[in-house]
Chains A and B, each alone.
With several copies, the nearest count.
Chain A
Amino acid sequence: MAHVTVLLFASYADAFGTRTLEVPVRAPCTVAEVVDAMRSLPGGDRLPSEPLVAVNHVWSAPETLVQSTDEVAVIPPVAGG
């Protein structure tokens, strides 16, 4: 089955019970499509309406295209400092 692997951290890793989540969506697709597909997985109800996403270590917009080789991270509200 086609999937995109998403990195998770902190409260999102707790919510989904994993740090690397296989999201059932076929690349290339948009960041928004990856997030939408995550909502139907266990823990997906804990995502906010528009979570932060980084593609290849760069903050990315919902319409950004994701390739199968990209590193995708769905990121909880940051709280460094």
Chain B
Amino acid sequence: MADAAFTDVTHAPLDLGALIARVAGPDAGAIASFVGTVRNVHEGRAVTGIDYEAYEPMASLELARVANEAVARWPGVRVAISHRVGTLVVGDASVAIAVASARRAPALDAVRFVIETLKVRVPIWKREHYVDGTRAWVDPTASAHESAGA
């Protein structure tokens, strides 16, 4: 069993199993998790990949703050979050979250809180690569739809 919160921003491929192993333990009856992956379409345009860029020192701190807020809000949960940066292709995981708790409700609630909160608070950006060779930064505030990430 690890500390109540583990977070990292990494250039390496994500490993959900390793995050689950970090939060699992004999007192945990429930492990909820979430993986965001690069998908092949955004607002009708074919996407081939995404560059993820981070303001790394702040992204690491903010990710840890989000995890710690989840632990404060659902006492007893353990949270592990990894966010990948760099160039990803369709199917690659960009974010992985695992939450363990004694009971299922806090684990499910905390996973949702973490993904919703990190998307609005952690300074990470994505530039989509389209099949026609063009690239564009995703601006969630300018779009009625969401991006090809999760």
Contact = CB atoms under 8 A, between A and B. Distances in A.
B138 A79 contact: yes
Interface string B114-142: 01001111111111000000000111111
B140 A9 contact: no
B58 A81 contact: no
Nearest to B97: A81
Interface-centre pick from A14, A77, A81 (highest chain B CB count, 10 A): A81
Question: Main SS of the interface on chain B?
Answer: mixed
A44 B150 CA distance: 31
Nearest to A10: B125
Nearest to B138: A79
B118 A75 contact: no
Interface stretch (B18-26, B49-57, B72-80, B105-113): B49-57
B124 A80 contact: yes
B58 A79 contact: no
B55 A80 contact: no
Contacts, number: 77
Among B55, B61, B150, find the residue whose CB has the most chain A CB atoms closer than 10 A. B55
A80 B57 contact: no
Contact of B121 (A14, A48, A57, A78): A78
A81 B127 CA distance: 13
A14 B58 contact: no
Contacts of A7: 55
Given A10-B127, A11-B137, A57-B58, A78 B53 contact: no
Given A77-B141, A79-B124, A81-B118, A10 B53 contact: yes
A24 interface: no
Contacts of A14: 137
Nearest to A8: B55
A81 B137 contact: no
Interface of A: 7, 9-11, 14, 48, 54, 57, 59, 73, 75-81
5 contacts: A10-B137, A79-B124, A79-B139, A81-B36, A81-B119
